[in-house]
């Protein structure tokens, strides 16, 4: 999407918020109203005008209860948004009335104003996200519920334009957008291939059929031992916290002492070295290195200690694991790397806690659906969070507030956390705001909800690929955040 579309703002290579489709923006003194000025002459890739109203339409889509998603609450600070989110999807007339009361207006084609129900000093960063990318409303309406699955409906305003969207062959093709405001990108086009079998992807890369891949972690020792491949290997800090989510509505994880025991019994150093093949960074905290709000001291009480872990388990009423209810570890069976990681985890906990986990491989789509409801959410599963934008609000308010669908589906609710992040979200003083988020993060970690490590981005990149700009946000492919705009192939 970042190749095909561009938000009002975007992030540069240093993760700073910079102008995108909008050339400037201004807040009122209270940070409750923000006005964006769009660039003159903005066009879609098909040459048609891109008016400010299309961003209003995009906001309506993300709020619409007829197509609910995990990001509905991302813009709940816009006046009238809550009423739309909570409305019945079966009353179209009422919905239209409520949309008309949402505090987003386009008085002309280059001006866009958002009125907010609470101060939101980070709003200009929110609008860099995909959630309100300006898909053409006429195509959305004509395309039906699955409009986004047809390439012809994905007319965008980014540096490239989707021309092929083939789920059957797992292929997305894009061509250079001749109408992009900053000029044509240097590449004529881009192919994105989803190859589920990582061994097949690795062979395709070695044969020169693919320019960049994320290799199977199990292949990294081989890559590092091969001078030619290692010269093409690139790793750097990533945007994701890798976690094992614990559903605290299901025994035994409804017992905080059990959650703490599993956290203390998690040997991050060996897990990263042997199971993740050194593709992560050892950490105890939620917000990863390189992001605002990262504090390496948070969660220090859960550093690996097998004896303390066993003592916690005994404190919970399960000495030496006796009487502990069965613990099933669910994971995406479509990714072969996950099985090896779970097998390692089972061995780890046998050693550190004296308990035996039961592996529960689940097909990818099924697992996604199970995780949408606390009643069906697995007892323990691979999971985590990747930053949508570089602000602690994204890590804490979006994920850990009790109103969040993410916290809700693992049964997490802490009123003290809610209170802190609600205050932080509206605090205009940057230092005070960061301290509130820091305090909230400490409380979340103290609840023993997750066992954590932070990822690295790691790729194999052919030496003829030039001009890539790397950021922690490049979770899918290198240069993702800066949309491959300056990339060339010098074969």
**Residues of the chain with pLDDT > 70: what percent?**
100
Domains in the chain, number: 2
Same domain? For 246 and 131 the reply is no
pLDDT band, residue 319 (cuts 50/70/90)? very high
Asked which of 119, 136, 153 is the last residue of a domain, the reply is: 153
Q: Based on the domain organization, do 244 and 362 belong to the same domain? A: yes
Instruction: Assess if residue 194 is contained within a domain.
Output: no
Q: Is the per-residue pLDDT at 453 higher than 80?
A: no
Band (82; pLDDT cuts 50, 70, 90):
very high
Q: Among 99, 132, 153, where does a domain finish?
A: 153
CA atoms within 13 A on the CB side of 15: 16
Last residue of a domain, one of 153, 184, 217: 153
pLDDT band, very low/low/confident/very high, at 428 (cuts 50, 70, 90): confident
Question: Do both 142 and 247 map to the same domain?
Answer: no
* Residue 166 falls inside a structural domain: no
Q: How far, rounded to the nearest angstrom, does the alpha carbon of residue 432 sit from its chain's CA centroid?
A: 26
Q: Is the pLDDT of residue 145 over 90?
A: no
In a domain? residue 69: yes
CATH classification at residue 88: 3.90.76.10
Task: Check pLDDT > 90 for residue 112.
Answer: yes
- Residues 259 and 395 placed together within one structural domain of the fold: yes
Instruction: Give the chain's mean pLDDT.
Output: 93
Whether the pLDDT of residue 451 is over 90: the answer is no
CATH of the domain at 321: 3.10.105.10
* 403 occurs within a structural domain: yes
Q: Indicate whether 143 and 268 sit together in one domain.
A: no
481 in any annotated domain: no
Q: Is residue 355 part of a domain?
A: yes
Q: Are 141 and 245 members of one domain?
A: no
Q: Which of 174-183, 262-271, 284-293 has the lowest mean pLDDT?
A: 284-293
Averaged over 465-473, what is the pLDDT?
Answer: 93
The 3-class secondary structure across the chain, one letter per residue, is CCCCCCCCEEECCCCCEEECCEEEEEECCCCCEEEEEECCCCECCCCCECCCHHHHHHHHHHHCCCCCCCCHHHHCCECCHHHHHCCCCCCHHHHHHHHCCCCEEEEECCEEEEEECCCCCCHHHHCCCHHHCCCCHHHHHHHCCCHHHCHHHCCCCCCEEEEEEECCCCEEEEEECCCCCCCCCCCCEEEEECCCCHHHHHHHHHCCCCCEECCCHHHHHHHHHCHHHHCCEEEEEEEEEEEEEECCCCCCCCCHHHHHHHHHCCCHHHHHHHHCCCCEECCCCCCCCCCCCCCCCCCHHHCCCHHHHHHHHHHCCCHHHCCCCCCEEEEECCCHHHHHHHHHHHHHHHHHCCCCCEEEEECHHHHHHHCCCCCCCCCEEEEEEECCCCCHHHHHHHHHCCCCHHHHCCCCCCHHHHHHHHHHHHCCCHHHHHHHHHHHHHHHHHCCCEEEEEEEEEEEECCCEECCCCCCCCCCCCCCCCCCCCCEECC
Q: Would 312 be classed as within a structural domain? A: yes
Residue 344 lies in a domain: yes
* Residues 277, 129 share a domain: no
Q: Do residues 300 and 441 both lie within one domain? A: yes
Same domain, 260 and 127: no
Task: Work out the pLDDT band at 352, boundaries 50, 70, 90.
Answer: very high
The answer on 253 and 131 residing in a single domain is no
- Pick the range with the lowest mean pLDDT from 95-104, 118-127, 298-307, 332-341: 332-341
The boundaries of the domain holding residue 47 are: 9-153
Residue 390 CA neighbour count, 13 Å, CB half: 22
Residues 332 and 444 in one domain: yes
Which pLDDT band holds residue 391 (cuts at 50, 70, 90)?
A: very high
Residue 174 has pLDDT above 90, yes or no: yes
């Amino acid at each position: 999407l970042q190749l095909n579309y561009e938000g009002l703002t975007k992030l540069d290579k240093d993760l700073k918020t910079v102008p995108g489709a909008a050339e400037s923006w201004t807040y009122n003194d209270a940070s409750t109203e923000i006005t964006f000025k769009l660039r003159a002459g903005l066009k879609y890739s098909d040459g048609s005008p891109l008016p400010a109203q299309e961003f209003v339409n995009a906001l309506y889509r993300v709020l619409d209860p007829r197509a609910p998603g995990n990001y509905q609450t991302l813009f709940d600070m816009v006046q009238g948004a809550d009423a739309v989110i909570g409305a019945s999807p079966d009353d179209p007339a009422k919905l239209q009335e409520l949309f008309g009361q949402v505090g987003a207006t386009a008085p002309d084609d280059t001006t866009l104003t958002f009125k907010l129900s609470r101060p939101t000093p980070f709003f200009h960063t929110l609008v860099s996200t995909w959630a309100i990318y300006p898909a053409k409303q006429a195509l959305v309406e004509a395309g039906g519920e699955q409009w986004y699955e047809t390439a012809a409906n994905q007319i965008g305003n980014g540096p490239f334009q989707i021309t092929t969207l083939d789920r059957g062959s797992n292929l997305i093709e894009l061509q250079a957008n001749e109408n992009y405001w900053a000029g044509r990108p240097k590449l004529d086009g881009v192919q994105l291939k989803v190859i589920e079998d990582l061994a097949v992807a690795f062979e395709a890369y070695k044969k020169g059929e693919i320019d960049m891949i994320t290799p199977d972690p199990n292949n990294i020792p081989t890559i590092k031992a091969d001078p030619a491949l290692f010269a093409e290997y690139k790793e750097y800090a990533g945007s994701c916290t890798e976690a094992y989510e614990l559903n605290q509505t299901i025994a035994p994880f409804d017992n905080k002492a059990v959650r703490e025991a599993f956290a203390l019994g998690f040997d991050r150093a060996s897990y990263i070295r042997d199971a993740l093949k050194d593709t992560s960074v050892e950490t105890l905290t939620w917000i990863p290195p390189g992001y605002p709000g990262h504090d390496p001291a948070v969660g220090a009480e859960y550093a690996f200690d097998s004896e303390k872990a066993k003592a916690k388990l005994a404190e919970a009423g399960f000495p030496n694991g006796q009487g502990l209810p069965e613990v099933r570890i669910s994971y995406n069976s479509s990714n072969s790397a996950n099985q090896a990681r779970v097998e390692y985890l089972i061995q780890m906990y046998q050693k550190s806690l004296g308990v035996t986990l039961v592996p529960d491989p689940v097909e990818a789509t099924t697992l996604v659906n199970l995780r949408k409801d606390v009643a069906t959410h697995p007892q323990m599963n691979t999971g985590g969070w990747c930053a949508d934008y570089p602000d602690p609000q994204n890590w804490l308010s979006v994920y850990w507030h009790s109103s969040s669908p993410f916290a809700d589906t693992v049964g997490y609710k802490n009123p003290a956390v809610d209170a802190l992040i609600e205050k932080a979200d509206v605090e205009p003083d940057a230092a005070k705001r960061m301290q509130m988020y820091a305090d909230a993060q400490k409380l979340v970690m103290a609840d023993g909800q997750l066992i954590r490590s932070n990822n690295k981005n790691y790729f194999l990149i052919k030496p003829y690929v030039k001009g890539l700009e790397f950021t922690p946000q490049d979770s899918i492919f290198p240069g993702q955040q800066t949309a491959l705009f300056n990339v060339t192939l010098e074969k």
